[in-house]
Structure 1
Amino acid sequence: MFFSIIIPLYNRPQEINELLYTLTKQTYLQFEVLVIEDGSADNAKSIVESYANKLDIKYFYKENEGQGFTRNYGFERAKGNYFVIFDSDCLIPADYLEIVKNYLYEHDLDAYGGPDAAHESFTPVQKAISYAMTSPFTTGGIRGNKKHVGQFHPRSFNMGVSRAVWEKVGGFILTRLGEDIEYSIRIHESGFKIGLIPEAKVYHKRRTSFSQFYKQLHFFGRARINIYKHFPKELKLVHFFPAVFTIGFIGTVLCNIFYQPLGIVGNFILLLFFLLIFFHSWAVNKSIKVAFLSIISSFIQLTAYGLGFIQDLFKRVVFKQQ
């Protein structure tokens, strides 16, 4: 098993340095690394080249097209029989490739995805954001959970596909707005076997501030409607939860102003919900500070996604704008 690790990069030289350092610690050594700079103004060429004597590594610079097409650029130049995709803001455990290799030999998957987690070095905000993206009270725990809803769709921060998939299905046809989900659906429809490797986790930094996190999740909400436009059957009831929460929160605020009895009911439900998040996060992260911040990050996760979802639902589905 020879892996080609493909990493699209855009104006994040420090992140790629931290990621590449973790790859030098891998216990399984049969792999190459392809870093594709997607038209960055602040490029990482010198950083990548500094790893030339530590990794089998190649650096490419191309015009900006977005992460999906940048991964395709890497696919075209990879020599491995299995392609592994990471986001540049990930840290990779030393036994990651060993775990994946052993699992693939046993289960013969054509494509896989793995979960993400918070590293001990992350800031409290990053840990809270990680909680919001993996909590059963926000995402339902479907991003890396065995008990997911419907088909499992690997996410591109931690995803692998065989060369056979690339040769038959091709690469990404969307460069952003849900490109990884669209790709995994086409892999499913082509008859390939996709599965979750639960132990193949990465430490995903995501965003370093709540404002950045809001922008990212608003984009994710819009991406879900983009997937619906390509595959209508892939829109499930669970995907409406952030929008329902957002509408309920706005309704509670309005009721507190115009009809307080109903507002009191809404306040009680919200309080109960946030208490569940607080105590669950406290149990998971062993930190009261992270637990408090998890309330904020979970609120942002739900409302940002919900507003993005509602925006494009009306724009692209109701009013049928392109």
Structure 2
Amino acid sequence: MFFSIIIPLYNRPQEIDELLHTLTKQTYLQFEVLVIEDGSKNDAKAIVDSYADKLDVKYYFKENAGQGFARNFGFERAKGDYFIIFDSDILVPADYLEIVKNYLYEHHLDAYGGPDAAHDSFTPVQKAISYAMTSPFTTGGIRGNKKHVGQFHPRSFNMGVSRQAWEKVGGFILTRLGEDIEYSIRIHENGFKIGLIPDAKVYHKRRTSFSQFYKQLHFFGRARINIYKHFPKELKPVHFFPAIFTLGFGFTILCNFIYPPLAYVCNFFLLIYFMLIFFHSWSVNKSLKVAFLSIISSFIQLTAYGLGFIQDLFKRVVFKQQ
């Protein structure tokens, strides 16, 4: 089995350097790498070229059109039996391709996704953000998990698609705002088999600050409504949880001013919830600092997503704006 690894890139030369370095350590060697520079001003050509003697790597520069269409550009030029999509901000364990190859030989999948985790080298903030995006106490816990809700939809930071599926379904029709979920729904609707490969994890750096994390999650909340506009049945009750949490938090603040007795009850439940996050993160990360930061990251994960969700719910569903 020959893999084509496709990586869209936009103004992140340092990230692609770290990612390509991890790919030089792979134990399974039947793969090529296609780096698609999507109109970056700070391009990474020199960095990618420096790996020419270590990897079968190709560098392409195209006009900026977004990550979904950059991946399509890579699909059209890939030679592999299977296409693997990575975000540029990940690190790949040395046995990743070996795990994927073995799993696909034993369990046929036309498309797959894998989980993400925090690497030991990550900063405390990055580890806290990773916790928020994978925790059972936030909606992050439904991603890359065996207990996912409904049909599993791979996410494009760690996603694979067979050449056969691509040839029938085509590539991405959205370039942003939930493009990976929309793509996996179309793959499934065309009769192809999609699944999670639980051990095919990557280390996902995500954002390096809470302000960047907020912007990303606000975007994710908006993306969920974009998916709803294309596929109404894909909006599940769990997707409303961040919005309900956000509204509940706002209600709690209001009660502190207009009806303190009710605020005491709300504050108590919030305290219990944040304590659960703190102690669970402490047990997972073995760090008090990361545990404390996990409270902040989980709060941001829920409220930023919730506000983005509410914003586009009213804008695009209630008021019918495009």
TM-score normalised over the length of structure 1: 1.00
2:310 pairs with 1:304: no
Q: Contact between 2:169 and 2:186, CA under 8 Å: does it hold in 1?
A: yes
2:249 pairs with 1:275: no
Name the CA distance, whole Å, in 2 between partners of 1:166 and 1:232: 24
- 1:141 deviates by 1.4
Partner deviation per Cα, 1:278-312 (whole Å, 9 max, x = no partner): 00000000000000000000000000000000000
Which residue of structure 1 lines up, in the alignment, with residue 110 of structure 2? 110
For 1:225-240, what aligned pairs fall within 5 Å after superposition? 225-240=225-240
In terms of mean alpha carbon deviation, does 132-141 or 148-157 score higher?
132-141
2:264 pairs with 1:264: yes
> What is the identity, as a one-letter code, of the residue corresponding to 1:97?
L
- 1:221 deviates by 0.1
Name the CA distance, whole Å, in 1 between partners of 2:101 and 2:222: 35
- 1:140 deviates by 5.4
Which residue of structure 1 lines up, in the alignment, with residue 166 of structure 2? 166
Secondary structure class of the residue paired with 1:135: coil
> What is the identity, as a one-letter code, of the residue corresponding to 1:173?
I
Which residue of structure 2 lines up, in the alignment, with residue 65 of structure 1? 65
Name the CA distance, whole Å, in 1 between partners of 2:140 and 2:305: 14
2:187 pairs with 1:187: yes
Partner deviation per Cα, 1:76-120 (whole Å, 9 max, x = no partner): 000001000000000000000000000000001000000000000
Partner deviation per Cα, 1:106-147 (whole Å, 9 max, x = no partner): 001000000000000000000000000000110151111111
Which residue of structure 2 lines up, in the alignment, with residue 136 of structure 1? 136
Secondary structure class of the residue paired with 1:134: coil
Partner deviation per Cα, 1:25-46 (whole Å, 9 max, x = no partner): 0000000000000000000000
Which residue of structure 2 lines up, in the alignment, with residue 176 of structure 1? 176
> What is the identity, as a one-letter code, of the residue corresponding to 1:22?
T
Q: Contact between 2:132 and 2:140, CA under 8 Å: does it hold in 1?
A: no
Name the CA distance, whole Å, in 2 between partners of 1:140 and 1:53: 39
For 1:50-89, what aligned pairs fall within 5 Å after superposition? 50-89=50-89
Partner deviation per Cα, 1:154-184 (whole Å, 9 max, x = no partner): 0000000000011000000000000000000
Secondary structure class of the residue paired with 2:218: helix
Question: Across the two proteins, how many residue pairs are aligned to each other?
Answer: 322
- Structure 2: gaps of 5 or more residues: none
> What is the identity, as a one-letter code, of the residue corresponding to 1:211?
S
Secondary structure class of the residue paired with 1:141: helix
Secondary structure class of the residue paired with 2:103: helix
Which residue of structure 2 lines up, in the alignment, with residue 17 of structure 1? 17
Name the CA distance, whole Å, in 1 between partners of 2:189 and 2:261: 51
Secondary structure class of the residue paired with 2:133: helix
For 1:288-303, what aligned pairs fall within 5 Å after superposition? 288-303=288-303
Name the CA distance, whole Å, in 1 between partners of 2:142 and 2:259: 37
- 1:228 deviates by 0.1
Name the CA distance, whole Å, in 2 between partners of 1:254 and 1:11: 42
Which residue of structure 2 lines up, in the alignment, with residue 45 of structure 1? 45
Q: Percent identity?
A: 87
Secondary structure class of the residue paired with 1:199: coil
Name the CA distance, whole Å, in 1 between partners of 2:50 and 2:61: 16
Runs of 4+ aligned structure 1 residues displaced above 6 Å come to none
Report the aligned-residue RMSD.
0.4
2:288 pairs with 1:317: no
Name the CA distance, whole Å, in 1 between partners of 2:321 and 2:265: 37
Which residue of structure 2 lines up, in the alignment, with residue 196 of structure 1? 196
For 1:189-228, what aligned pairs fall within 5 Å after superposition? 189-228=189-228
- 1:15 deviates by 0.1
Name the CA distance, whole Å, in 1 between partners of 2:269 and 2:176: 35
- 1:320 deviates by 0.3
Name the CA distance, whole Å, in 1 between partners of 2:143 and 2:19: 21
> What is the identity, as a one-letter code, of the residue corresponding to 2:67?
Q
Q: Contact between 2:124 and 2:290, CA under 8 Å: does it hold in 1?
A: yes
> What is the identity, as a one-letter code, of the residue corresponding to 1:32?
E
Partner deviation per Cα, 1:159-216 (whole Å, 9 max, x = no partner): 0000001100000000000000000000000000000000000000000000000000
Which residue of structure 1 lines up, in the alignment, with residue 32 of structure 2? 32
